[in-house]
A and B are shown apart, each in its own frame.
Chain A
Amino acid sequence: MADVNITVDGKKVAAPAGTLLIEACKSAGIEVPSFCYYPNLSLQGACRMCLVKVEKMPKLQTACTTVISEGMAVSTDTPEIHQARKSMVEMLLGNHPLDCPVCDAGGECELQDMTFAYGAAESKFIDIKNHREEQQWSPVVYFDRPRCILCYRCVRVCGEGMDVWALGVQNRGVSSVIAPNKEDHLECEECGMCIDICPVGALTSGAYRYKTRPWEMRHVGTTCTHCADGCKTTLGVRRSDTGMEIVRGDNRDKSGINGDFLCMKGRYAFDFANHEDRLTQPLIRKDGRLTPSTWEEAFELIGRRFKEIRDSAGGQAIGVVGSTRTTNEENYLLQKFARVALGTNNIDHHRTADFPALAAALRGKPEATASMRDVFKAPAMLLIGNNPTEQHPLLAWQIRNNVRLHKARLYVINSEPVKLRRQAVNFIQIPVGSEGNVARFLSGDDSAAGSISNPTATRDAWVALRDKLRGEQNLVIIFGSEIRGEDIASLVKFGSAVPSAKFVCLSDYANSRGAADMGLYPDLLPGYHPMSDAGKWRDEWGGVPQTPGLTLPQMVESAKAGNLKAFYVVGANPVGRLGIDAFSFSQRFVVVQDMFLTETALIADVVLPAANAYEKSGTVTNTCGDVQFLQKAGEITGAKSDFEMTVRIADAMGFDVSKLVPFSRGTHSDMGQSRGAQSGEVDRHGVWLEAQGLEPKMSPFDPTAILDEIQRLVPGYGVSRANLLAGNDQHTTLSGSGAGVQHDPALIAPANDTLFTSGTLGRYSRALNSVMENRQKQPAEEVAAD
């Protein structure tokens, strides 16, 4: 579209036709104050803070509802405008309580900022302010009515953005009041978007309530550890007796892949980190009981036993299970440890999607995977299986808002009437378990149509849908773990008939994709290279075991048969989550690294207390393949990162750890002497050196030494280090992957998490539990827009 030229405060600005004046001003670096205007929400025109003077127009105009037109001359700051805005603030303050000192929004409040800017500090009103008691609407949402300035942002974000429509307005005029859907409480997705978007402290968070103040926390931008979408989240951290306490999760920095969004889990479920059941000391089984011990004793015991078993029974007598929540570096290190130090390929993880099949199908196809940002921009989307609203809240947000804002076409094929059908141009319900048939039918196999046709979706309707999809451009094909193995190949075959189609394969945990990419498979090396294609790694590591190892169910069988003698579980709970038989491991040497005494930890001989994702740095990869940085928020006294523990175990086995972690490499030009970073300040020199790959890796516990190796060897991971460190997401494609291997589809066990569960982690979050309890009392129903 041709640009329209306008003048703002004497500055020439060009912007596409149809741009709102307030946005045009912003693009010129001139900020027009606003309360009710919020980008990407419908226009409200309620607060009149954005008044500006447009030449030749008789009165002041609201910049948030005025569309620019050619030759417009605008002034944004004249005494008249200043006066108008001042009176607006004065009106708002007329009934606003002066309780900033106790208000949780104090310090981050837009009304405070406006009062400072326009100085309506004195009131001309003599009437007594109208007081109302604060209300608790849900375990995590509080509403303080007198503080509300009626900007309706919350109503709009809940309805338009979340498609929940739980908030509304009662009454009209001055007596308008924001109301929840169930008279005195809310039944909703508890996402907290309304709290985040509220410019004042009318809606506040139950989790952060009266704990501290915004300027008192350290704000750490990191990546959410709950689902596989990888939202960027900012943790507010303060000191505490145990080392650190996370007091808030929010979304200050809107630069992440999630933009404005965070779900219930990202916003409130950080509290597992401070749960009182956390392990802070290694435990060793003595006389049948797990007894606290020292780290030295634990490592010595593990090292000695692993070495004995490896030397007497061979590496195949040891099984290793990796995590879907630890970092890429830790996963890579773990499989390297298994293959190099233990000499076994017996390594697996809780698989929740068939990435090897996707990698095999997309091999050599550049740009065939969609990033989370692509999902927001795609002109058309096809969703087969899964229920993103529950399992992938961010993905659902991207899809919904893409449809709403960009008029994208959404096609949904599911065995359930999932909520996203409401955004779909075409929703077809299929019998449970026939997603694979859909893939085959789409790829051109008409014989598959029979099992998916029914009176509402006839064969002809399916053929019409397929033709329509083939006619789409830049279609993003999103599929759940229902589609596995050969069916993925069929779907990719269909995709190649659509110009520039891209794929998203949905897995369930924060780093499920990373675990797959890093080779936590008994028959695949990192980057989906089968054992027959081990060249690079053999050279690098000086040898890789040839024969594929055991999958997790095979390890259990082998343990039962007495062949598997040791079991090393890192950050996973196969007994609790996959229902493996705990008794198979009696008389076996079991080592578990975890935060809590999980079902699996209960059968262990040694339990090592582990740090969680918020307590370490590293990289994680979301389900789309976007690599992001985890920034360490703090640490709890007593726990160690999985990275450090694995290295210490290798060391205790007498293994040369420099063969495991390539440390002491790098340029030794600067050992840190020339840096001037003060406490709390960014060590810019260090960041620069790290970004250039020049930072010396002086410690075997330095995960960036492994990151160097990953970036060198794993296809797709050669992303810019500077961007990673700056907190930007970077997409990796699967085009350079190895050939992959066909796996038994039964090995995939979806987590089936909902909005309020998160694998084993969820039950240690008080926030999630309180919402769940509340839910059980009053089951929620779906509310449609009216």
Chain B
Amino acid sequence: MTVLKNIAAIAKGMSITFMEMFQPTQVENYPDGPGPLKGAKFQDRFRGVHVLQRDENGLEKCVACFLCAASCPSNCIYIEAAENTAEHRVSGAERYARVYNIDYNRCIFCGYCVEACPTDAITHGHGFEIASFNASGLVYRKEQMLAPQPAHMGANAVFNHAEVASGELGVR
């Protein structure tokens, strides 16, 4: 009797397994999916690698106020400011960030920097493939995070840093 009972239990269990096998897939098909995101899907609010935005004229929005660096709990933002001149204009205001580094060895993707920014210059993109065997490569420079020129993508666009790094999105 117990043998029959056991067989029934297994059959019952397996029936669920077999039933699920023919349902549509519920998980994301990363990294075998189609498109630049390789099947990864994000909520809009996902906090990935930062994007430094540009304004409607293509100028950098960041004015090097250092507020993001001040608010950062892991102290991973490094900025050097410089003055815009008529010949060399980088941002819309009087000053711009000549150097803007984020150290992704330390960033905890908390979003405080985004919160602090008075010009909405820094936002979280959706880049997440940043694992590396080389820690020094995790210090991202401004050029790696800057939104492409011209700025038609708007804030919080679906954005993958690998494409930026590879030049696919036309970063200067």
Contacts of B81 in A (CB 8 A): 210-213
In the complex the two chains form, is B82's CB within 8 Å of A215's CB?
A: no
Contact partners of A57 in chain B: CB under 8 A: none
| Whole-angstrom distance between the Cβ of B90 and the nearest chain A Cβ | 12
Given contacts A102-B95, A215-B70, contact A210 B65 (CB under 8 A): no
Give the Cβ gap from A354 to chain B, nearest Cβ, in Å: 48
Contact B69 A101 (CB under 8 A): no
Q: With a CB–CB cut-off of 8 A, which chain A residues contact B94?
A: 99, 102, 134, 210
Determine whether A209 belongs to the interface, using a CB cutoff of 8 Å to chain B: yes
User: In the complex, A732 Cα to B83 Cα: how many Å?
Assistant: 46
A216 vs B65: C-alpha distance in the bound complex, in angstroms?
A: 10
Report yes or no: B69 in contact with A216, Cβ–Cβ below 8 A: yes
* Known contacts A212-B66, A216-B66; is-contact A99 B83 (Cβ 8 Å): no
CB within 8 Å of A: which B64-95 residues: 64-67, 69-70, 79-83, 93-95
Categorize the interface residue count of chain B: 10 to 19
Q: Mark A77-112, 1 if CB is under 8 A from B, else 0.
A: 000000000000000000000011110001000000
Which residues of chain B are near A210, meaning CB under 8 Å?
64, 81-83, 94-95
Q: A163 CA to B25 CA in the complex, in Å?
A: 83
B63 contacts the other chain (CB 8 A): yes
Docked pose: A102 CA to B67 CA in angstroms: 11
Contacts of A211 in B (CB 8 A): 81-82
Q: How far is the CA of A210 from the CA of B119 in the complex (A)?
A: 17
Centre residue among A100, A210, A212 by max chain B CB count within 10 A: A210
B83 touches A101 (CB 8 A): no
Task: Check if B118 is an interface residue, CB within 8 A of chain A.
Answer: yes
Q: Kindly state the separation between the CA atoms of A216 and B75 in the bound complex, as whole angstroms.
A: 11
* Contact pattern, A 376-408, Cβ under 8 Å of B = 1, otherwise 0: 000000000000000000000000000000000
Q: Please report which residues of chain A, range 143-163, place their CB below 8 angstroms from some CB of chain B when the two chains form the complex.
A: none
* A215 in contact with B66 given A101-B118, A210-B82, A210-B83 (CB within 8 Å): yes
- Distance of A372 from chain B, by nearest CB (Å): 36
Q: Which of A187-219 contact B (CB under 8 A)?
A: 209-213, 215-216
Q: Are A106 and B65 in contact (CB under 8 A)?
A: yes
Q: Identify A102's interface contact among B63, B69, B70, CB under 8 A.
A: B63
Choice from A100, A106, A209 contacting B83 with Cβ under 8 Å: A209
A100 to B65 alpha-carbon distance, docked (Å):
8
For residues 483 through 531 of chain A, which have their beta carbon under 8 Å from a beta carbon of chain B? none
Picked from B65, B80, B82, the residue with its CB within 8 Å of the CB of A101 is B65
B114 to chain A, nearest CB (A): 15
Contact between chains at A213 and B83 (CB < 8 Å): no
Contact B95 A213 (CB under 8 A): no
> In whole angstroms, what is the CA distance A209 to B81 when docked?
9
Cα–Cα distance between A210 and B95 once the two chains are bound (Å): 6
Residues in A with CB closer than 8 Å to B82 are 210-211
Q: Give the chain A neighbours of B80 by CB distance below 8 A.
A: 212
For A209, the chain B residues whose CB sits under 8 A away are: 83
Contact A99 B93 (CB under 8 A): yes
Which A-chain residue is minimally distant from B94 (CB atoms)? A102
| Closest-CB distance, B57 to chain A (whole angstroms) | 17
Within the complex, the shortest CB–CB distance from A103 to chain B, in Å, comes to 9
Complex alpha-carbon distance, A211 and B97, angstroms: 10
* Bound Cα distance A210, B98 (Å): 11
Task: Across the interface, name the chain A residue whose C-beta is closest to B83.
Answer: A210
**Separation of A106 and B95 alpha carbons in the complex (Å):** 13
The residue of chain B having its C-beta at the shortest distance from the C-beta of A99 within the complex is B93
In the complex the two chains form, what is the Cα distance from A216 to B68 in whole Å? 11
- Shortest Cβ distance from B141 into chain A, in angstroms? 14
Q: Which of A101, A106, A134, A215 lies in contact with B119, CB distance below 8 A?
A: A101
- Within A688-722, which residues are at the interface with B (CB < 8 Å)? none
Name which residue of chain A comes closest to B81, CB basis.
Answer: A210
* B109 CB, nearest partner CB in chain A, Å: 23
How far does the alpha carbon of A135 sit from the alpha carbon of B66 in the complex, in Å?
A: 25
Question: What distance in Å separates the Cβ of A216 from its nearest Cβ neighbour in chain B?
Answer: 5
Beta-carbon nearest neighbor of A134 in chain B: B94
CB nearest to A238 among chain B residues: B80
Question: Which residues B90-117 have CB closer than 8 A to chain A?
Answer: 93-95
- Whole-angstrom distance between the alpha carbons of A101 and B64 in the complex? 8
**In the bound complex, CA of A270 to CA of B118 (Å):** 32
Per-residue CB contact flags for chain A residues 304-325 toward chain B (1 = under 8 Å, else 0) read 0000000000000000000000
User: Nearest Cβ in chain B — how far from A249, in angstroms?
Assistant: 18
Give every chain B residue within 8 A of A212 (Cβ-Cβ). Answer: 66, 80-81
Cα separation A134 to B66 with both chains bound (whole Å): 22
Which among A100, A102, A106 has the greatest number of chain B C-beta atoms within 10 A? A102
* Set of chain A residues within 8 Å of B95, measured between Cβ atoms: 102, 210
Q: How far is the CA of A234 from the CA of B79 in the complex (A)?
A: 22
**Which B residues touch A101, using CB under 8 A?**
63, 65, 67, 93, 118-119
Which A residues are in CB contact (< 8 Å) with B64?
Answer: 102, 210
| Complex Cα spacing A99 to B65, Å | 10
Q: Give chain A residues whose Cβ lies under 8 Å from the Cβ of B79.
A: 216
Q: Which residue of B lies closest to A239 (CB)?
A: B78
B77 to chain A, nearest CB (A): 10
In the complex, A227→B118 CA distance in Å? Answer: 43
CB distance from B80 to the nearest CB of A (A): 8
Q: Give the Cβ gap from A83 to chain B, nearest Cβ, in Å.
A: 28
Alpha-carbon gap, A100 to B118, bound state (A)? 9
Q: How far is the CA of A422 from the CA of B63 in the complex (A)?
A: 47
Q: With both chains docked as a complex, state the minimum distance between the C-beta of A409 and any C-beta of chain B, in angstroms.
A: 49
Distance between Cα atoms of A102 and B60 in the complex (Å): 14
State A613–B79 Cα separation when bound (angstroms): 28
Find chain B residues with CB under 8 A from A216 CB.
Answer: 66, 69-70, 79
Q: How near does chain A come to B153, taking the closest CB pair, in angstroms? A: 23
Select from chain B the residue with minimum beta-carbon distance to A98: B118
Residues of B within 8 A of A (CB): 63-67, 69-70, 79-83, 93-95, 118-119
Having A101-B119, A210-B83, A215-B66, one finds 18 other A-B pairs with CB under 8 Å, namely A99-B94, A101-B63, A101-B65, A102-B63, A102-B94, A106-B65, A209-B83, A210-B81, A210-B82, A210-B94, A211-B81, A211-B82, A212-B80, A212-B81, A213-B66, A213-B81, A215-B70, A216-B66
15 contacts between A and B (CB under 8 A): A99-B94, A101-B63, A101-B119, A102-B93, A102-B94, A106-B65, A134-B94, A209-B83, A210-B64, A210-B94, A212-B80, A213-B70, A215-B66, A216-B69, A216-B79
Interface pairs A-B: 7 shortest CB-CB: A101-B65, A210-B95, A213-B66, A210-B83, A101-B118, A102-B93, A102-B94
